[in-house]
């Protein structure tokens, strides 16, 4: 998966906001045993960085890459194991579509948004995620 | 989605959502937060936890009434004061669980948010007075009636 995404463990760690040693340890563990237990939060961050569906990466079930055009089930989303944006079943597709709408926003904005915890009152869409990206840029300071 | 929609969602999360931590730990975290509070209300609880500052913004993008990032708790100030209280406490609960190194599924988040709104000591006092009703609890804690009813439900086996 890392190779097909044209990235490296180090770049993946940077994007996911994890240490290189953590990502390397997870990859080594899964290489040795694909069924090995890995902390859900870590796998979710890796899924967000790879822009693949978190449930698919964690369990192998469902689609690797959900369709952003499909109307999401808000109740199912908010009852996910961890209620952050990156846990949305279609987050990878939403993020990709939002980034296409706002291609100049820096990576840190999307990374910060991925781990944000919202009280959702409507299903997110690519334009609403793009608007949140612009909001983050206006209101928050970039990482040092 | 209206406040009622959020209430229905909170009830569903409490009853059928993911819970990773025992109820006693939820109560303990809430009690400790009350002991450490720095000022009144939800913002005092947040300050006591050294959580990111609460920022009220009517221009928060559509689709969410609250959002926690690493730098702020953003709240859309709409609806009743009780609803705004629950929004802040919901985001604070996310922050407290994550800071404790715990996952923060919404089942645990809503349980902690309700416990922060009305600590067990308050429920015990009202019960001793024979006044443990959602209406009275809502009035005492400044929380919405739906939240008070859920709080009484979740503590039924402890009181």
B64: which strand partners? Answer: A120
B64-68, B140-144, B154-158, range with the lowest pLDDT? B154-158
| B101 has a chain A CB within 8 A of its CB | no
Beta strand B64-68 pairing with A117-120: antiparallel
For residue B37, give both structure tokens.
């509070």
ipTM over 0.90: no
pLDDT band at A34 (very low <50, low <70, confident <90, very high): low
Inter-chain CB proximity A135 and B61 less than 8 Å: yes
User: Which sequence spans correspond to the domains of chain B?
Assistant: 3-154
| A116 has a chain B CB within 8 A of its CB | yes
On average, the pLDDT of chain B sits at 93
Inter-chain CB proximity A83 and B64 less than 8 Å: no
Inter-chain CB proximity B61 and A136 less than 8 Å: no
Å between A20 CA and nearest CA of chain B: 20
- Residue B81, Cβ neighbours under 10 Å: how many? 11
Share of chain B above pLDDT 90, in %: 76
Q: What is the pLDDT of residue B145?
A: 95
| A79 has a chain B CB within 8 A of its CB | yes
Å between B101 CA and nearest CA of chain A: 10
How far apart, in whole angstroms, are the C-alpha atoms of residue A57 and residue A50? 10
For residue A105, give both structure tokens.
């926003």
**pLDDT for A37-51, tens place per residue?**
777 667 777 766 676
Q: Note the Cα A144 to chain centre separation in Å.
A: 22
pLDDT band at A73 (very low <50, low <70, confident <90, very high): very low
pLDDT band at B157 (very low <50, low <70, confident <90, very high): low
Helix, strand, or coil (residue B40): coil
Residue by residue, DSSP assigns A93-106 as HHHHHHHHHSTTS-
Q: Which residue of A has its CA nearest to B55?
A: A139
pLDDT over 50 at A67, yes or no: no
Interface A-B: count of C-beta contacts within 8 A: 95
pLDDT band at A3 (very low <50, low <70, confident <90, very high): low
Q: Whose structure tokens read 């004061």?
A: B81
């Amino acid at each position: 998966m890392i190779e097909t995404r044209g990235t490296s463990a180090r770049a993946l760690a940077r994007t996911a906001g994890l240490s290189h040693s953590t990502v390397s340890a997870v990859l080594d563990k899964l290489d040795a045993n694909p069924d090995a237990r890995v902390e859900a939060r870590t796998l979710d961050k890796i899924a967000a960085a790879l822009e693949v569906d978190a449930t698919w990466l964690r369990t192998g079930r469902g689609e690797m890459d959900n369709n952003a055009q499909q109307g999401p089930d808000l109740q199912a989303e908010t009852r996910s194991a961890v209620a952050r944006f990156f846990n949305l079943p279609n987050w990878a597709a939403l993020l990709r579509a939002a980034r296409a709408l706002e291609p100049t926003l820096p990576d840190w904005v999307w990374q910060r948004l991925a781990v944000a915890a919202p009280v959702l009152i409507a299903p997110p869409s690519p334009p609403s995620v793009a608007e949140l990206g612009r909001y983050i840029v206006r209101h928050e300071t970039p990482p040092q | 989605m209206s406040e009622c929609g959020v209430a229905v969602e909170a009830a569903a999360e409490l009853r059928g959502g993911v819970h990773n931590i025992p109820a006693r730990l939820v109560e303990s975290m809430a009690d400790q937060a009350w002991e450490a509070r720095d000022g009144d209300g939800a913002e005092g609880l947040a300050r006591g936890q050294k959580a990111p500052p609460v920022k009220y913004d009517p221009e928060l993008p559509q689709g969410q009434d609250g959002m926690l990032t690493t730098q702020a708790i953003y709240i859309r100030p709409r609806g009743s004061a009780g609803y705004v209280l629950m929004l802040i406490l919901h985001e604070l609960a996310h922050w407290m669980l994550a800071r404790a190194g715990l996952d923060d599924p919404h089942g645990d988040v809503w349980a902690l948010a309700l416990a922060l709104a009305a600590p067990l000591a308050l429920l015990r006092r009202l019960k001793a007075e024979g006044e443990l009703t959602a209406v009275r609890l809502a009035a005492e804690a400044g929380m919405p009636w739906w939240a008070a009813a859920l709080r009484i439900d979740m503590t039924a086996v402890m009181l």
